[in-house]
Structure 1
Amino acid sequence: MAEENERISYEPWVSWHKITGEIISGPAPFQLHQSKNTDQGSLTSKSVPKVYRHSRPKMHKMLSDQLERIGIIVEHGKQVLEYYEDAHSGKAGVILQNGLKLEADLVIAADGVGGKSSRITLGHEVRAEPIGYSIYRASYPLNETLCDSIINEKLPVMENGMPSSQIWLGRSADEITWYLTYPDEGQSKESWTHWVEPETVLKTTAKITGWPVYANRLIQATPKGRIHDFKLMWREPQPCWTSAGGRVVQIGDAAHTFHPSSGQGATQGMEDAASIAACLHMAGKENIPWATRVHNKLRFERVSCLQLLGVVNQELRQRSVNAQPSQTKPVGLLGAWIWEHDPEQYAIENYEKAMKNLTDGCPFQNNNTPRGYNYRPWSLDELLKDKEMGNEIVLEGDWE
C-alpha cells in the first residue's frame, strides 16, 4: 500500500489568485509551518514530512485494495437503521434495513453526518445548522478539456512536470478538480446525491464581479452529471462518542463534523482510526469498553480545537476575499501541532494515564492541542453572537 501511495500521490505546488483570476503569488511548493522551541525561538530539528495530495477516488481504491489483501470483507448496500448493545452479553450490533442483525464485540460507527449512531451515544440525533454557504464540486478526467486551448493555457502543468493547484481552481496530472463556495439561497441540499448541471453554476458566477471567461469555460467543460452541490451544515462539538456500555464508538464525521475550511475531515477520521486501534491493542479484548472511553478522552479536545480552527480559517479567507488588492494572499492556520502529531504513539504513551483519570480521578491533561492553550468548551452560537457584535475570535496559545 505504501508503494501504491507513492505512485498515486503528487507534491502540490500552489498559486494564489484573486477572484478575478489575477495571480497574487506562486506557484511554489506547499510549505508546512515548523514548530518552534518556546525557550529559544528556534525551529525544531524534526524534519518536515512530505506533503501528499491525492485524487480521493484513487485513495479510496488504494485503501479498499489493501483491505482485500489482508482478508477484510467490505459489503455495500447494507443500510443501517439502528445500533444496539447488550451490556450483559458484552455484545453490540446493528439492525439492517432488511431486518438482518450483525453482532460483534465492538461496533465502530463511521456513518458520517447523516448516520443513526448518535441515538445510542447521545440518546438523540445531532441537529444540523446551516452555515450560510453551499459548495459546488466537480472532478473529471483531464482529457475532457484537452481540446480547449484557453483552459490549457490558464491551467498548465509546470515545466518541472509538477501539477499545480490554484487556490480558486486546480489541476492534477490526469484530472481536473474545481470547487466554488457560494452564499446559499436555499436551493442546495445536504446530500451526496444532489447533482446540478453547468448552467446552474453559471447563474452563480454571473453574480461575481470580474469573474473571468476562462473559469466559465472550465465549468462548461464539466461533463453532465459531474457537479455536486452540497449545502454546508454545522453540528456543535459533541464530547461523548461512546455508548453507555462502551461497545459502540463513533469516529470521523459521525463523532465530529468539520467546517470544510478546516481541511481536516478526512485527516481526523484517519487519526481516529489509528487511535482507536492503539487503544484496543493496549486494552485487550476483555477491556474493550475502556478502550473506547480512553480513545474518546484522548481525542475530543484535539478535534474540538480543529473544529474551531475551521471556523477561524473561514473568517480569515472571507476577510481576504474582501481585502484591498494590495493585501496579501488568503491565509489559513495549519500549525505544526496538527501535522507533527502521531495519534498511534500518543494513544500508547497516554493510555494508562487517561485510564486512571477515568477510573480514579487522577490528574491528566492532553498535550495534543496548541501549545499554551487551556481547552475550554465553545459553541458555534457563541461565535456567531461575537461576530454580530464585531468581536474577533481570539485564539490563546500558539496555533500557528
Structure 2
Amino acid sequence: MKTITKLGLSLLLIAISFSCSEDDEMNTVTENAAYTVIRFGEEQTIAENEGQKEIIIPFDKAAHSSGQIDLKLITGGAIMFQTIPEMIDGVISLQVNEGDPFASFTIIPINDEIVSNFSSLIFSINSLSEGFRKGNNNNLNVGILDDELSGMPRSYIINTDNGSVMQEYFYNAEMKLLKIENTFLNSWDWKEISTFYYSEDSRLSKMTSTSKYDGMEAENATETFYFWENDLITRSERIVDGIKTAYTIYEYDNNKNISKKTDYNLHSPEEYKLSYIYIYKYNEEGNLIEESSSFHYEGNVESKIILTYENYSSHLNPFPIKNIIPGISVQKNLPGIMKYDAGDGISIYNYTYEFDEEGKVIKRITPYETAIFAYH
C-alpha cells in the first residue's frame, strides 16, 4: 500500500513538474514575442508655406521585421496637400525595413492665397503587417497652419476643476470672423457654434447659433439680426422658429463705446418686457473697467452683478473673449484684476500671464483656472 502511495505521489510530482516546465516555456515564448508597437505622439504641425515636412511615426523599438503600415485619412481640412508616398483613395502605404527606428511620410501643403483656417488631418491605422501592433493612441494628428492668418487668434482653452472649455475661431476670405465654436471638454460632448454673416459693405448682419450634443445637432437654431444707424449697431433681434423672441437696444458714449445694452424678451404674442439692463464704463484707452448687469421682472430689479477690471497692462489682447457685440473686444489690453460683486461679497481674481518670444500672450493663470492661447 505504501509502495502504491509513493508511486502515485511521484507521478503527481512529475505531472506538476512537467506542467510548470511547459508553462515556463510558454511564458518565455510570450515574453520574447517579436513585434513592434506603433506609438503616435502629440499633434505635429506644419505651416502652409513651409514646404514639405517629414511626419515621424515612432516605434517602441527598432522594427523586428520588414512590413507595411497603411494609414487612412479619416478627417481632412480645407487646405489642399500632397503626400510622399502618394495617398490613394485616402490611404498612404508606408514600407518599413527591419531595424528601422520609425516610419515616416512627407506632407506637402499647397500654398495658395485662400483663407482656409487651421486644417486638422487625422489619420488612423488601416492595416498592419504581421509583427506590428497598435499602441494606445490609434490616431495620428497633423495640423496645417494657414499662412494667410499667421499670428491671428486660433483658439483658447480654459481649464478648471470642473472641466475645460475650448473656443476656436474661423475666418472668411476678408479675414473677418466666420465662426466661433465653443466645445465643452467634459465626459459628454457639447458644442455651441456661432456663424456670422456680413452685408456687401462688410457689416455684421446676422449670427446663427446652434448646439450639438454627442454629435447630434439641436433642432432649433437661433438667428440674431443686427441693424445699423450712423455706422453703429443700434438694435438686434433674436428669431427662433420664425418668431421674434427678444430684441436688444444699444447706446453709445462720445467715444463710440457701447455704454448701455437693454434686453427685452417676449412674454405674450404681442408684448415684450424688460429683462436685463447692462451699463458699461471705460478708461481713456477704451478698455472696459466696469460692467453692471441687472435682472428685471415685472418692473422690479431682482438681482444685480457688478464686474470691475483693473491694472490693465501694455500688452495687447488679440482675443475677443470679452465682447458685447460678437467679435469686437472691449478689452484691447490685458486686465490684471477682475472683481465680482453679486451683493453678498466681492470675489477678486488676480491674473498673471505668460508670453512668447514675440510678446504674444500664451497663458493666463488665476487660482481657479488656467487659460491657454493658440495662434495661426
Identify whether the pair has TM-score above 0.5, normalized to the shorter chain: no
Q: Compare the two structures and name the one with the higher helix fraction.
A: 1
Q: Compare the two structures and name the one with the higher strand fraction.
A: 2
Task: Give the TM-score band, short-chain normalised.
Answer: under 0.3
Greater RCO, CA 8 A, separation 6+: 1
